[in-house]
Amino acid sequence: ISHQQFSSCVSTILPSISSMIRTFVLNGNWETIISRRLFSILFETRLCFLCPNLQKLILRWFTCDRVMTLLMDNLGDCEHLTELHI
């Protein structure tokens, strides 16, 4: 999809369907190409608030340090999370 479509999905569609999301894939490469607003939504929001019923999280293309930061800062209180794929 185009960057504009991706931006629309993250800022408009994702929040409107967030309670229905069970599996989420997060790509570390996105950090360098997205706007500050999208970065805030995807990488600074606690996942339990972004996707309260998240069961499976897939992390792709992250450095070890970045994965550790995400795990410590963004995954707390994800009560339904049962699978983590790195």
The single residue listed with the structure tokens 């339904």 is: 80
Q: How is 6-59 classified by DSSP, letter by letter? A: HHHIIIIIHHHHGGG--EEEEEGGGGGTS-HHHHIIIIIS-HHHHSTT--EEEE
- Quick: pLDDT tens for 1-34: 888 999 999 999 999 999 999 999 999 999 889 9
pLDDT tens-digit series, residues 31-80? 889 999 999 999 999 999 999 999 999 999 999 999 999 888 888 789 99
